[in-house]
Amino acid sequence: MYWQPEQERISRSELAQLQLERLQATLYRVATHVPFYRRKFKELHIDPDGFKSLDDLRSLPFTYKQDLRDNYPYGLFAVPLRDVVRLHASSGTTGQSTVVGYTQNDIKNWSDLVARIMTGAGVTKDDVVQIAFGYGLFTGGFGLHYGSERIGASVIPISSGNTKRQLRIMRDFKTTTLVCTPSYALLMADVMEENGISINELSLKFGLFGGEPWSEAMRNEIQDKLAISATDNYGLSEVMGPGVAGECQERHGLHINEDHFLVEIINPETLEPAAPGDLGEIVITTLTKEAFPVIRYRTRDLTRLLPEPCPCGRTFTRMERVMGRTDDMLIIKGVNVYPSQIEAVLLEVEGTKPHYQIVVERQGRLDKITVMVEVIEAIFFDQMKKQRQFIDLIKHRLATELGIGVDIKLVEEKSLERSEGKAKRIIDKR
Amino acid sequence: MRMLKIKNLTAAYGRVRVLKGISLHVNKGEIVCLIGANGAGKTTLLSSISGLLRPLTGEIILNGTLIPRRADKIVALGCSLVPEGRQVFAPMTVRENLILGAYVQYRKDKKALAGIETVYDLFPVLRERAEQLAGTLSGGEQQMLAMGRALMAKPKLIMLDEPSTGLAPLIVKNIFKIIQRMRTAGATVLLIEQNARAALKIADRGYVIETGKIILQGPASDLLNNRDVQRAYLGRVKGE
């Protein structure tokens, strides 16, 4: 089953021509409409007119997350704001946030690309899709929502959280398709067990999971416990959101929507192309985005390409599930958290020292994050009540900044391990 | 199936570069339109494809073959041009004009003239005026004659350069209907138009060309929805 059979089964040579055409138009547009790219091309003496083959891509500069932050909020938009019909943003209330925009055509393409992935996963217009991704500024909820509507499925925009209610609705509304993070799916399975809900009471058939790295073992457990076909999908708000790539029913790698995204796998150290089939960082150039095109975006996600043809008939190259990150970004309950965001908040609070440690662990099925922070003596030995207020203040600020709850533990000055060179800020016990 | 594939085409008149690396394609059975302002390079592109102008660099592949240099060989390969301003042979009759359109085919196949009946079926008015001098036809009829003449070569790809120019709205509507009918009959169409709205309405896909570069491409419906296209080629944007 395909959503756009002509595009999804395009021959490789036709795809190359289409990618070249779209890339040339994209380069022209960023060079004329986005001052950031105009400046960068000029600095590097790049003539977008001289772009002759897809291999020339390697001469173009990378775009980094920091470039998005530096151009907060609208600096990288390629269309005037009046043409933008939707805005999404990453978490963060300080200058760390990044904003992306969509034109009407972008939303249409986005919906179609998600619809492709849902169709690939087996979902049809007869399905009832429960979307337990967060809505709001994150792209996850809305991305899957519009894709589901596009194929004509019945959408339950329940958003994340309140697991018992999720299960009740899942049973009563006869949900056939669950969309959430893989760890939340496992939590649901546990809560089902605890509450004596049998899988036979549910109508589940498919699960589309994304937002965080997971393993084949987790897939097997989810498929087993929820009696569904579980597929992986991949995307990031900087290039669009979900819909960049997704698994078909073969469940062996994610088909990249290559007619809309040009991907490279690079060695993150040398920045040279990784050998075919080698693990490396996936770098993405958008080919059709109108409002927010990006050139060679450094995703920091590690994966490898699987170039062999897929039995499903799609000609798009597959990527392996994301294996990890090349930077210090943490994914907590599907939310992206940078230690630098935490540091920025701590520095704003009077009484803290610039020494902290972030402990990430899995509590049951879910991620839990605890920040241990050194504080000045006066606070450490202060009355319980004042100390509590102090903790609450940091908690509140961090929650606003990150969009997720964080535990705080105050520790005495100089009690955290000091290391020479790079401080060990993160202890990931997951 | 690709009918036409163009990669990195550059062309110049003297020292003036008119096409600066154009890549585009037309699939079999598609209507693809190219929109752009005067001087953007539209006609230059068609001239390059039809062999009237030699491009500087780049490749043009028609139905899987690199196009030959001579224009008549390109016609023989299945690509016909309906030039801007009709360019019918005014002192000749309608029938004679049509017969000339089959010139290349006639050398190989004497039955090539039989196609005239198909053209008459598509444009009944040409049958009525078969013996009339082409110069005495109205603008709309001349446009039909130019299209009929191109069809006489039994093209796989037919290229139309500004077919609506200088015609009354009602006649334009009729011309666009005929273009759709030509496609239904099996032709692939590359259409160049300043009347962007009308062209995009019948096209499957479109390209926007500006100062010798493709600046936008995509499904025709997306281009109709694109605000830049609306501002530059479709008149005002709603609500602005």
Q: How confident is the model at residue B146 (pLDDT cuts 50, 70, 90)?
A: very high
Answer whether residue B77 is part of any domain. yes
Paired with B218 in beta bridges are B206
On average, the pLDDT of chain B sits at 92
Q: Which pLDDT score, from 0 to 100, does residue A356 have?
A: 85
Tell me the CATH number at B153: 3.40.50.300
| Torsions phi, psi for B160 (to 5 deg) | -120, 125
Q: How confident is the model at residue B236 (pLDDT cuts 50, 70, 90)?
A: low
Q: A276-285 contacts: CB < 8 A, separation 24 or more?
A: A276/A305, A276/A307, A277/A304, A277/A305, A277/A306, A277/A307, A278/A304, A279/A303, A279/A304, A279/A323, A280/A304, A281/A326, A282/A319, A282/A322, A283/A62, A284/A239, A284/A244, A285/A23, A285/A26, A285/A57, A285/A60, A285/A261
B200: amino acid identity, one letter: L
Instruction: Retrieve residue A242's tokens.
Output: 């979900």
Tell me if B24 and A28 make a contact (CB, 8 A cut-off).
Answer: no
Q: Which pLDDT score, from 0 to 100, does residue A226 have?
A: 96
Q: Which pLDDT score, from 0 to 100, does residue A116 have?
A: 98
Q: Which pLDDT score, from 0 to 100, does residue A345 have?
A: 85
Number of domains in chain B: 1
Kindly report the nearest CA distance between residue B205 and chain A, in angstroms: 12
Tell me if B216 and A29 make a contact (CB, 8 A cut-off).
Answer: yes
H helix runs in A195-230, sequence order:
216-226
Tell me if A49 and B20 make a contact (CB, 8 A cut-off).
Answer: yes
- Sketch the domain layout of chain A as residue ranges: 1-327, 335-428
Kindly report the nearest CA distance between residue A330 and chain B, in angstroms: 37
Q: Is the pLDDT of residue B112 over 90?
A: no
Residue B209: exposed, middle, or buried by beta-carbon count in 10 A (0-12, 13-18, 19+)? Answer: buried
Domain hosting residue B39, numbered range: 2-233
CATH topology of domain A1-327: Rossmann fold (3.40.50)
Paired with B19 in beta bridges are B11
Chain A residues in contact with B218 (beta carbon < 8 A): 105, 288
Q: Is the pLDDT of residue A309 over 70?
A: yes
- pLDDT tens figures, A173-212: 999 999 999 989 998 999 999 999 999 999 999 999 998 8
Q: Cα separation of B218 and A179, whole Å?
A: 31
Tallying the residues shown for chain A, one arrives at 430
Tell me if B214 and A28 make a contact (CB, 8 A cut-off).
Answer: yes
Which of the pair, A191 or A414, is modelled with greater confidence? A191
B230: amino acid identity, one letter: Q
Which of the pair, A424 or A212, is modelled with greater confidence? A212
A268: amino acid identity, one letter: P
Kindly report the nearest CA distance between residue B33 and chain A, in angstroms: 15
Answer whether residue B226 is part of any domain. yes
**pLDDT more than 90, % of chain B:** 82
Decide if A1-327 and A335-428 have a common fold: no
Kindly report the nearest CA distance between residue B160 and chain A, in angstroms: 22
C-alpha to C-alpha distances, A366 to A161, A187, A332, B240, nearest whole angstrom: 12, 7, 8, 49
On average, the pLDDT of chain A sits at 91
E strands in A269-321: 280-286, 297-303, 305-306, 318-319
Is the bond preceding residue A73 a cis peptide, omega within 30 degrees?
yes
Q: Which pLDDT score, from 0 to 100, does residue A420 have?
A: 57
Answer whether residue B239 is part of any domain. no
Chain A residues in contact with B5 (beta carbon < 8 A): 17
Answer whether residue B240 is part of any domain. no
Q: Cα separation of B30 and B186, whole Å?
A: 9
CATH topology of domain A335-428: GMP Synthetase; Chain A, domain 3 (3.30.300)
Average pLDDT of the residues in B189-201: 93
Q: Cα separation of A193 and B100, whole Å?
A: 83
E strands in A95-197: 99-102, 128-131, 154-156, 177-180
Q: Is the pLDDT of residue A336 over 90?
A: no
Say if residues B188 and B26 touch (Cβ distance below 8 Å): yes
Say if residues A373 and A380 touch (Cβ distance below 8 Å): no
pTM of this structure: 0.88
Q: How confident is the model at residue A172 (pLDDT cuts 50, 70, 90)?
A: very high
Q: Which pLDDT score, from 0 to 100, does residue B107 have?
A: 79
Which of the pair, A355 or A270, is modelled with greater confidence? A270
Task: Residue B76: count other Cβ atoms within 10 Å of its Cβ.
Answer: 15
Q: Which pLDDT score, from 0 to 100, does residue B237 have?
A: 63
**Candidates A30, A49, A54, partner chain B, best to mutate (most B CBs within 10 A):** A49
Chain A residues in contact with B7 (beta carbon < 8 A): 17, 20
Q: Cα separation of A82 and A95, whole Å?
A: 24
H helix runs in A292-376, sequence order:
339-348
Q: Is the pLDDT of residue A270 over 90?
A: yes
Average pLDDT of the residues in A112-124: 98
**pLDDT more than 90, % of chain A:** 67
